[in-house]
Structure 1
Amino acid sequence: DSFTWVVVTGDDLTNDKKRSLIILNHRTRLDWMFVWMLHSRYKILKQLKIVLKAELKRVPFLGWSIQHAGYLFLERIWTKDQQKMKSVISYYKSCQTPLSLLIFPEGTNLNDETRIKSNNYASKQTNYNRPYDYCLHPHTTGFTYLLNTMRSDDMIDNIDDVTIGYEGDFPITEFDLLKGVFPSVVHFHVKRYSINDLPQEDEKIGEWLQNCWDEKENRLKKFYMTKQFDPLSNTFKNRKKESNIRFQRRLAMILWTLFVLFWSYCLIAYIKIKMYVFIVCLFHLVLEVFANGIIDFVYKINPRVMQIYVRTLDDRTLTLNVQSEDTINEIKEIVEQREGIPADEQRLTLGGISLDDELTLNECHIEEESTLYVLLDLEGGGKKRKKKSYNTPKKNKHKRKKVKLTVLKYYKVEDTGKIHRLRRECPSKQCGAGVFMAAHHDRNYCGKCCVTYMFTKREEN
């Protein structure tokens, strides 16, 4: 009776209910399926969620099933993936269940083409050490962001560095599975790190991940020479454990075969079953078109857990983990429990605008890491003068200026009351009365029409 052995070395995962982020080398496209075998043997398969590329969720039936399993699908567009990772972690935090999240920092599976691209990419980086032959160089951006998000939401206890290796033939694509290509032995080496031992700075986290992959390259090089991981003490114990699950494997094969045959018969024989399958398929197709899949639809309708800040009266900042559907009044009650300020005396503001008690955080457009301010509603004091409002613009009052009449200086009034004109008026029709000519020693000149009168002796008028 030949079947695939599973050998686990390194740190023990027995009865492990801790929250962890798992990093794994990506030897084939189907590595994540073999990880099922690892977690099922330690009864922690239920809490395993895997980060996969978005193309897989669009595969009919298979993609729908892994969407229902709650896996994380990335589009490889950083702005979208960043928001999706935050939403997924918030969702599982609201579920309050242990989470083991598997990520492939290499980004794609190992082959000759990707090996060359990976080494060329890594050679341009500052922390480049050497080319790899047995794995690809890790991408640190997504891993660092995911780690920081899980750490800030208190959703992680450990980092599990898992190295996978195969003996014999192993499937490269899904078609190899259909052909029955399976490895004779799948080896897993587990090295666990406490989250408290990891650095806080993003740059240091990237260096830590690169060092893990340097060790992984050396470990894989030795494995493909000896077909064993170190330490070797757990090998025979795990082989004995594999022998104990033969009955479970055969029972599962019988039950799943009967299950498939039963529903295949029902699908052929009963019209109601056909209608049910048709409606289910149509439902998933509609969600795929309009909501980007059922898993994204669940994330959208699920109240999102987020972190907000509340600035108190004495300039202290409270950090609150709340849901997007919580009301402003519920936030006031939390502040009352923390600060002792009665909720009916509080007034919460955002950007200088007072928030209504009945509105939810989502309706108030309060996002992640928003800051609210607590004010007190005061009573008493003098009557505030109401500011007069104008519906029409005010008329500007014209301030009259005191202007001297320059024309008067052209006339002289004697003591007897007789008026003498000091300047000659221009006789031209173009100018007329009121336009005086300039008086020079030998001429009178009009600056408007340029009429000039020459004389040898200045006239006295």
Structure 2
Amino acid sequence: MNIITMEEWKKYRRLGGGILFVLTLLFTSLSGFIVLSVLYLPGFLFGHSSAQWIFDTLTSLWFTFAVGIYELIYGVKIVIQGDVRNLNKNRCTLFIMNHRTRLDWLFFFSIQARYGSLRRFKIALKDEIRHLPGAGWAMQTAQFLFLKRKWHIDKNRVEATLKHFKQNCLPPQLLFFPEGTDLQGISRQKSKDYAEKNELDDYHYVLHPRTLGFTSVVTNMKTCNNLDQIVDVTISYPRTMLQRETDLVTGNIPREVVFTLRCYDIDEVPTDNEPKLTRWLEERWYEKEEFLKCFYSNKQYSNDNGYTKEQNTEIERDTKLYMIGAIIFWTLFAIITLYYLSFFYMFRMTYLFGCVIGVFLSTFVGFNNIFNKL
């Protein structure tokens, strides 16, 4: 009789937890997009802005649900230090962050849940993610910025997306990755080759940023959305990390994620001069490299975010209550949906039909295009 060791038991438990985590996020996002359409589609009767507001609110509730799962249930410790007091959920903000793993954006939800606006939060992501059933479709409809990393295509997408926010009076809070891809073997070598070709320092903890997309986003946000501030965010993983989405299944979720923030009012940034703006970004990335080099040598952080102990306690309490509310809502929603799928034939057929239509529309039309034309 084989006896399972404690180490094997922990491995199986992590694997089971990882599979459950992924299935929960996939099922709730897919079901939420299909079933809750009865809530946001009628919003078009009152105008496009009303429908967008309803949809963005439901999406932000799901974001909070995701945060609640990995923080409250899986125990991921989120540390947010630096210039936090200058964050404001009512300001039009561009967040720029180093791209250590393919899931940095998922953990960034924790910052927005505490200090920003999840309803107005948007992300610049790789184009492939837009076709992910449920979550990808919702991100399309929420007008996330999907980039193909081909400038002749991305230039038009940047302009169109930011003009859409202007037309709907929605000052976005956009997360943008100037590096364009996450830090791993191939991208690390490309960054090294680029540094050698241009006689630049070779970075080990970040990639050299792509400045063209950044300057375009800044220019368009300033013109269309009255950009208020740029927030430089450095993400670091002092203990463990997962590099790609598939790693979630293994259950090796990071035990600790540290965000270090520095806020710049738009008047402090040379936005009217592209060469100077390019240089400004490159200086920020040089600072990131130096900061991370020091951080990973001692793995210490200050926990200082500008708020008093009492203020932080209040923020954490309110955020936890919001997360618990989101967990309760989506858990009940999932249970009810599963019940109807199990015992009601017409509901099951309608659900499956919605999935098929969703795949077709996502692939050949785009939910963002449909939403804009309604």
- TM-score > 0.5, shorter chain as reference: yes
Report the counterpart of residue 57 of structure 2 in structure 1.
Answer: none
Alignment partners' CA distance in 1, 2:127 and 2:332: 32
CA drift of 1:241 comes to: 6.0
Q: How does 1:290-305 map to 2 (within 5 A)?
A: 290-291=364-365, 293-299=366-372, 301=373
| Deviation by residue 1:360-408 (Cα, 9 ceiling, x = unmatched) | xxxxxxxxxxxxxxxxxxxxxxxxxxxxxxxxxxxxxxxxxxxxxxxxx
Partner of 1:171: 242
Question: In 2, Cα distance between the equivalents of 1:14 and 1:202?
Answer: 25
Partner of 1:260: 334
Partner Cα separation in structure 2 for residue 56 and residue 47 of structure 1: 19
Stretch deviating more after TM superposition (164-173 or 242-251): 242-251
**TM-aligned CA deviation for residue 240 of structure 1:** 4.5
2:205 pairs with 1:134: yes
Work out whether 1:215 is the aligned partner of 2:287: yes
Change (3 A) 1:255 1:289: closer
Mapped to 1, the partners of 2:76 and 2:363 lie a distance apart of 39
Unpaired stretches in structure 2, ≥5 consecutive residues: 1-72
Report what 1:119 is aligned to.
192
Deviation at 1:256, TM superposition (A): 2.5
The alpha-carbon deviation at position 286 of structure 1 amounts to 3.0
In the alignment, the residues of structure 1 paired with residue 252 and residue 205 of structure 2 have an alpha-carbon distance, to the nearest angstrom, of 21
Aligned AA (2:230):
I
One-letter amino acid of the structure 2 residue matched with residue 161 of structure 1: D
Question: Is the 1:26–1:109 contact (alpha carbons within 8 Å) kept by the matching residues of 2?
Answer: yes
Q: Which residue number corresponds to residue 80 of structure 2? A: 8
Moved more, 48-57 or 228-237: 228-237
User: Is this contact kept in 1: 2:131–2:363, CA < 8 A?
Assistant: no
Of stretches 48-57 and 179-188 in structure 1, the one that deviates more from structure 2 is: 179-188
**Cα distance in 2 between the residues matched to 1:279 and 1:190:** 45
Structure 2 counterpart of 1:30, from 103, 107, 110:
103
Q: 1:148: which partner in 2?
A: 219
Q: Quickly say closer, same or farther: Cα 1:282–1:115, change in 2 above 3 A.
A: same
* Partner in structure 2 of residue 68 of structure 1: 141
Compared CA separation, residues 177 and 19, structure 1 to 2 (3 A): same
- Pairwise CA distance, 1:243: 5.8
Amino acid at match of 1:145: S
SS of equivalent residue, structure 2 residue 123: strand
**Alignment correspondent of 2:267:** 196
On the 8 A contact 1:219/1:229 being kept in 2, the answer is no
2:356 corresponds, among 282, 287, 295, to: 282
Aligned twin of 1:88: 161
Larger helix fraction of residues? 2
Is the 1:93–1:153 contact (alpha carbons within 8 Å) kept by the matching residues of 2?
yes
User: Deviation at 1:97?
Assistant: 2.0
1:5 and 1:242 in contact (8 A); partners too: no
SS of match in other structure, 1:161: strand
Residue in 2 that maps onto 1:384: none
Aligned length: 298
Q: Is the 8 A contact 2:231 2:263 kept in 1?
A: yes
- Determine helix, strand or coil for the equivalent of 2:220: helix
Task: Provide the TM-score with structure 2 as the length reference.
Answer: 0.73
The unaligned stretches of length 5 or more in structure 1 are 303-461
Taking the aligned partners of 2:123 and 2:107, their CA distance within structure 1 comes to 12
Shift of 1:63: 1.5
Q: Between 241-250 and 46-55, report the one with greater CA deviation.
A: 241-250
Number of the residue aligned with 1:20: 93
Task: Determine the C-alpha separation between the residues in 2 that align with 1:168 and 1:14.
Answer: 27
- Deviations, residues 169-213 of structure 1 (Å, cap 9, x unaligned): 222222222232222221111111121222222211111110000
- Offset of 1:219 from its aligned partner? 1.1
- 2:257 maps to which residue? 186
**Distance in structure 1 (CA, Å) of the matches to 2:120 and 2:305:** 28
Alpha-carbon shift at residue 20 of structure 1 (Å): 1.1
Q: Structure with the greater relative contact order (CA < 8 A, sep ≥ 6): 1 or 2?
A: 2
| Larger gyration radius, structure 1 or structure 2 | 1
Cα deviation for residue 80 of structure 1 reads 1.3
Q: CA RMSD in A?
A: 2.4
- For residues 219 and 235 of structure 1, what CA distance do their matches in structure 2 show? 22
How far off its partner does 1:95 sit? 1.1
- Quick one: distance in 1 between partners of 2:341 and 2:326? 22
Q: Using the alignment, how far apart are the partners of 2:211 and 2:87 within structure 1?
A: 30
Q: How does 1:330-341 map onto structure 2 within 5 Å?
A: none
Q: 1:222 to 1:14 in 2, by over 3 A?
A: same
2:261 is paired with a residue whose SS is strand
8 Å CA contact 1:99, 1:155 repeated in 2? no
CA distance 1:236–1:171, change in 2 (3 Å): farther
Distance 1:252 1:190 in 2: 26
Change (3 A) 1:230 1:145: farther
